Amino acid sequence: MSIQLVLSNYLSGLKERHELDALLPELLKAMGHSVLSRPQVGVGQGGVDVMSTFVSEDGIETVFLFVIKFGDVKRSDLYSGDQAIDPSIREACNDFVRNRIPATLQDKPKNIVLISNGELRQEAQSGFAALSSDVESRPLCSLHFWGTDQLTPLIERHLFDEALLLSKGKSDLRAALAGLENSDMAIHCFVRFVAHCFEKPDDEATSSNSTRRKRFLKRCAAAAMGWAVLLVWGKSEKNEKPGVVTGEFLALYLWSEAVKDGLQEDEEFQSRLSNVLKIQTRALLEYFAKSAQQLMNREVVLLHRPERIFYADLIFEEMGRLATLILLLEKFPEFSTYRQRTIQLSVYLVNAHTGCRLPVYDGQAIDISLLLSAWMGSAAWSHAKNLAFDIVDRLGHALARNQYLPIDTDLIDDAIALNITKTADSRDFFKTSSLIPALATASAFLGSDDTIQLLNEKIQPLLQEVTLERWYPQVALETLTASTQSVQDVGISRAIAKLYPSAAEERDSSLKVVKDAALPTDFKWHKNWEVLVALSARLHRHPLPTWYLAAKHQQGMQLTASPVQESTTVDGKKTTS
């Protein structure tokens, strides 16, 4: 499978206009253009979607005006419809050229380019040729067409060849696409692809800061382009899971590399990271739009995963993924219309799978914490309180009967030994717990005195010889994704002596930072990108820091009052919120 065939299929597989809008500026920057304007929704743009300038080797500066057309260009597309090409091109070479190009560029050559992820159909070629002749009659103006056949080699040359040292990275990308039937294999190959994108040549250390920055941004563009290809290919293969998993990985990897190079504040990098996370948000919305109906049907899920440990593993995985989607929707206001619906979807998930409110593994406390933090950040207080109470209540019954206790090793072999083959005793794998402190912390921020009381009176007396642990991150967490370190290397686990009898005391205890742990303000993502903490917790399976829960609680408290709405809560009752 050649990379050009991969890219050609990628371009033809684009289903949304915004995907093409996002690709073009990245490609132009990689080609050495200065992008002066980008596509904007609902704004009159004089027929032009993107404007850039390019200075050739002989010093001639040329203005490029791009008009984007989605799909093949047919004769009818030239002259009819709201998005007719002929009027847009004429508006570009008349109104835009005369009135919207800066005065300093008025005497420069102007290339008007019709961009398409398809081809110029034969039936439209004579009309396009006539339009080209008309445009060329204007001073310094010319008309060109860039379709799939033109874009494919440009993407390969400018986004892949220079950044990936040719063969290694591209072979990993091809392997990821070819292995989409096996999600784990596709994810593994894509991880290798990204690592190859960021391999640095030996002479980089002696390069200027400007050169290192330029190379870094090109690597970011190459990795993001590869991920975009994987997303589109996954849709065509009807397996979108590798795309959404690797989207989390890519965002964290880009941030890690930026921090290591001291470029995390760079404006262009910030824009690239934002674009990646917005695409990830859209990908997650599409993922759940397609999977929600089956995921919410308990009988369908049980038919697919009839054994409790595998069933619960699936539900908690999707719970954590749905929580990160809510947190991303909170981050980007343009997705605000999806936020309430996604919160409601998460409530339906919890209601549909009530048996999974007792985790199989201690590490599933991460997914619970993510959902509670997402609900707190959205001021969905009743949802969060009810879920925390129900989990604690079920855990109390499990402890009293010494059954179904969360596996502290998080290993499937131990879960099978305890739940299926019955070759292990009930408390063989319940020596430590991060779940219980996490529930105590969340309940404390929620002000749930009844849950705190339940933890103290029903849970704590049954924890003989069980060590309660709380995890505190160090600054190295920010660069974990692009390093060879493990979670154990970037955080500190500490035993806690007891749970406190009041929410206020438990809250104060939870927020104490132990020696050698980092404060939230020590992290470079603290200003704008704390959502990466949640992505890191879900991807790398480390506990969510207590200060992150505190931040989401504060965010929820600061939300402006909204109209009273009726919604289904996690206990199936009706409430006003």
Say what the pLDDT of residue 15 is.
64
Say what the pLDDT of residue 472 is.
97
User: In this structure, what DSSP letter does residue 208 have?
Assistant: -
- 39-43, 185-189, 312-316, 565-569: the lowest-pLDDT one: 565-569
114 membership: H or E segment, kind and range: strand 110-116
Pull the structure tokens for residue 562: 């909204």
Pull the structure tokens for residue 508: 């104060």
Mean residue pLDDT across the chain: 90
CA 297 to chain centre: 26
Neighbours of 512 (CB within 10 A): 12
Q: How far apart are CA 423 and CA 573, in angstroms?
A: 40
For the whole model, what pTM was predicted? 0.87
Q: How far apart are CA 572 and CA 381, in angstroms?
A: 15
User: In this structure, what DSSP letter does residue 530 have?
Assistant: T
Pull the structure tokens for residue 159: 């986004």
- Per residue in 488-545, pLDDT (tens digit) is 999 999 999 999 999 999 999 999 999 999 999 999 999 899 999 999 999 999 999 9
Burial (0-12, 13-18, 19+ Cβ within 10 Å), 278? middle
Three-state SS sequence of 252-286: HHHHHHHHHHCCCCCHHHHHHHHHHHHHHHHHHHH
pLDDT above 70: residue 153: yes
- Per residue in 57-92, pLDDT (tens digit) is 999 999 999 999 988 999 999 998 878 999 999 999
Q: How far apart are CA 266 and CA 271, in angstroms?
A: 9
Confidence bin at 167 (pLDDT 50/70/90): low
- Given a contact cutoff of 8 angstroms between Cβ atoms, the answer to whether 89 and 47 are in contact is yes
Sign of CA dihedral 507, 508, 509, 513: positive
The predicted model gives 245-254 an average pLDDT of 98
Which residues touch 323 (CB under 8 Å, ≥6 apart)? 346, 367, 370, 371, 373, 374, 534, 538
User: Which SS3 state, helix, strand or coil, does residue 94 take?
Assistant: helix
Pull the structure tokens for residue 50: 């993107």
- Per residue in 346-400, pLDDT (tens digit) is 999 999 998 888 999 999 999 999 999 999 999 999 999 999 999 999 999 999 9
- Per residue in 460-488, pLDDT (tens digit) is 999 989 999 999 999 999 999 999 999 99
**Overall residue count recorded for the chain in this entry:** 577
Burial (0-12, 13-18, 19+ Cβ within 10 Å), 421? exposed
Q: How far apart are CA 473 and CA 366, in angstroms?
A: 14
- Given a contact cutoff of 8 angstroms between Cβ atoms, the answer to whether 118 and 151 are in contact is no
Pull the structure tokens for residue 275: 């674009």
- Given a contact cutoff of 8 angstroms between Cβ atoms, the answer to whether 262 and 211 are in contact is no
Nearest to 452 by CA among 441, 465, 466: 441
pLDDT above 60: residue 199: yes
- Given a contact cutoff of 8 angstroms between Cβ atoms, the answer to whether 375 and 383 are in contact is yes
pLDDT above 80: residue 228: yes
Which residues touch 244 (CB under 8 Å, ≥6 apart)? 280, 283, 284, 287, 321
Confidence bin at 42 (pLDDT 50/70/90): low
The half-sphere exposure of 398 on its side-chain side, counting CA atoms within 13 A, is 21
Confidence bin at 569 (pLDDT 50/70/90): low
Q: Which long-range contacts (CB under 8 A, 24 or more apart) does 170-175 make?
A: 170/3, 172/196, 173/3, 173/6, 173/226, 173/229, 173/230, 174/1, 174/3, 174/6
- Per residue in 100-141, pLDDT (tens digit) is 999 999 999 999 999 999 999 999 999 999 999 999 999 999
Pull the structure tokens for residue 294: 């089956």
Which segments of 297-364 does DSSP mark as H helices, in order?
Answer: 298-304, 308-331, 336-352
Paired residues of 469 in beta bridges: 495
pLDDT above 80: residue 31: yes
Pull the structure tokens for residue 446: 């929620």
Pull the structure tokens for residue 62: 């040329």
CA 125 to chain centre: 41
Say what the pLDDT of residue 44 is.
59
Confidence bin at 169 (pLDDT 50/70/90): confident
Give me the residue label for tokens 């549909």: 352
